Amino acid sequence: MTLKTSQKKTPLWHSLLSLLALLALLLALPRMVEQSKQFLEPMFANQNHKPVSLVFKPGYKFQINGALMPVFGTKSCHKDNTPRECILIEPETQFIDVLVGYADGYKREVWVVERNDNIARLRRADGQYVLPGSL
């Protein structure tokens, strides 16, 4: 017993339309790749370079022992011609001197700056890491 299968022939116009679509895609591909490069390259421009400087505004709140605490640095930064003390972490910075606002007053602490490629972490003297209060 043999089964008959009905094979429909693809119309010529359908094949031509598919061929034209493929040709249009091949012609547009180099331009699409170039446009993708122009969009993506700036996003990853600093990927293989030195770490960038980080600046936190005066009173920026960090998570310390599970609580949000205002922290001030000792580096002068200027905004609206008014000197303020912000936290400045340059690529070569290994330690930062900060004032942490506890309930009973401000206390001076020295934090270690740990860098791994483009990631910076701040570690307190007791070994705990400091987390940003908000991004």
Reported as a pLDDT band with limits 50, 70 and 90, residue 124 is very high
Reported as a pLDDT band with limits 50, 70 and 90, residue 129 is very high
Percent of the chain with pLDDT over 70: 73
Asked whether residue 40 is assigned to any structural domain, the reply reads yes
29 and 94 within one domain: no
103 and 128 within one domain: yes
Asked whether residue 94 is assigned to any structural domain, the reply reads yes
What pLDDT does 134 receive? 63
65 and 24 within one domain: no
Asked whether residue 5 is assigned to any structural domain, the reply reads no
61 and 125 within one domain: yes
Reported as a pLDDT band with limits 50, 70 and 90, residue 110 is very high
Token pair for 116: 């791994």
Work out the average pLDDT over 51-72: 88
Asked whether residue 101 is assigned to any structural domain, the reply reads yes
What pLDDT does 79 receive? 60
Instruction: List the Cα angle 90/91/92 in 5-degree steps.
Output: 90
| pTM score of the predicted model | 0.59
Residue with tokens 């446009």: 35
121 and 63 within one domain: yes
Measured in Å, how far apart are the chain's first and last C-alpha atoms?
Answer: 73
pLDDT tens sequence across 14-49? 778 888 887 777 777 777 666 665 555 555 555 556
Kind plus residue range of the DSSP H or E element containing 38: helix 12-40
Asked whether residue 4 is assigned to any structural domain, the reply reads no
How many domains in the chain? 2
Token pair for 100: 């942490």
Instruction: Say if residue 2's pLDDT is above 70.
Output: no
62 and 84 within one domain: yes
What pLDDT does 3 receive? 58
Strand bridging mode 105-116 / 95-102: antiparallel
Lowest mean pLDDT among 80-89, 91-100, 117-126: 80-89
37 and 81 within one domain: no
Domain range enclosing 113: 54-132
